[in-house]
A and B are shown apart, each in its own frame.
Chain A
Amino acid sequence: MAIYESIVILDSLIPPKEIDSAMDRFSALITENNGKVRQVEKWGKKRLAYEIQKKQYGFYASIEFEGEGNIPVILESEYNYNDNVLRYLTYRYDKYKLKAMASETPAVNKAEKVEPKKKPVIDIESEEPEKTDFENNDIEAEADSDETVEENKE
C-alpha cells in the first residue's frame, strides 16, 4: 500500500452542493476499492495561471488516500467521465515527501532541529578570514574561495 494524493480542479461555476457530491463520489470510489481516505481538503476557488476550457477560475480540491495502484486508474476514468473536472493530478508520495511528513508530525521536536543547523554556519565563518581583500570586495560571503575560477570572456 502506498500513499497517494489526488488533486482535482472542478468548474468553479457549479453549485457548492455539486462539488460536495463529486468529492463524496471520488471518496466512495476509493473506499469501495479497499483504499483508505486520509484527508479531503478543499482549497477553494483559485485563479488559474492559464485558461482551461476557456475558464479563468477553478475550484481546487485534494484527496489524500492509501491504497493499491489500481485506485489511481479507477479515479482517472471517473475524472475523464465527469464533465465538471477541468484537470486532475494523482501522484504517489515519494521518499522525500514521506520523510517530510514524518518530520512534520512531531511539532515538539522543532527545537532540536534548529541546533544541528547552527554548526555549518560556524564552519563557514571560520573559513572566511582566509580570503584576500580583493575577494571580499568582489564576492559576497561565500564558503569556498578555492572554487572561484577566473575566466577570460570575449
Chain B
Amino acid sequence: MIRVRRKRVCFFCQSGMDYIDFKEEKLLLRYVTEQGKIIPRHTSGTCAKHQRQLAQAIKRARHLALIPFVTDFTR
C-alpha cells in the first residue's frame, strides 16, 4: 500500500502565534489524544520550538486541572 506522507506545516508558525497560553484549554485539547497524551510532533506537524512550548503549556494546564492527565474509558 502506497501512502503519501506529506509535510505538515506547524499551526503556530502559520498563525504567527508566538506565545502558547496554557489557559486556552480548547487549543491545548487539540494537541492531546483522547486519552490525554501529548501528540508527538511528527504527527501534528508542530515545529520543535512550538512543540516545546506546547508541552510546557499542556503540563501547566494539567497541573491546574484545566485539562485531564488521563481520560480513562475503562469504568
Contact = CB atoms under 8 A, between A and B. Distances in A.
B44 interface: no
A35 interface: no
Contact of A142 (B2, B9, B20, B60): B9
A117 B69 CA distance: 36
Interface residues of B, number: 23
A89 B65 contact: no
- Chain A, interface size: which category? 20 to 34
A81 interface: no
Given A100-B18, A153-B1, A9 B6 contact: no
Interface in A124-154: 138-139, 142-144, 147-154
Interface in B34-75: 53, 60, 62-69
Contact of A50 (B5, B9, B18, B69): B69
B68 A89 contact: no
A136 B29 CA distance: 30
7 contacts: A9-B65, A49-B67, A50-B69, A87-B65, A142-B6, A142-B7, A143-B9
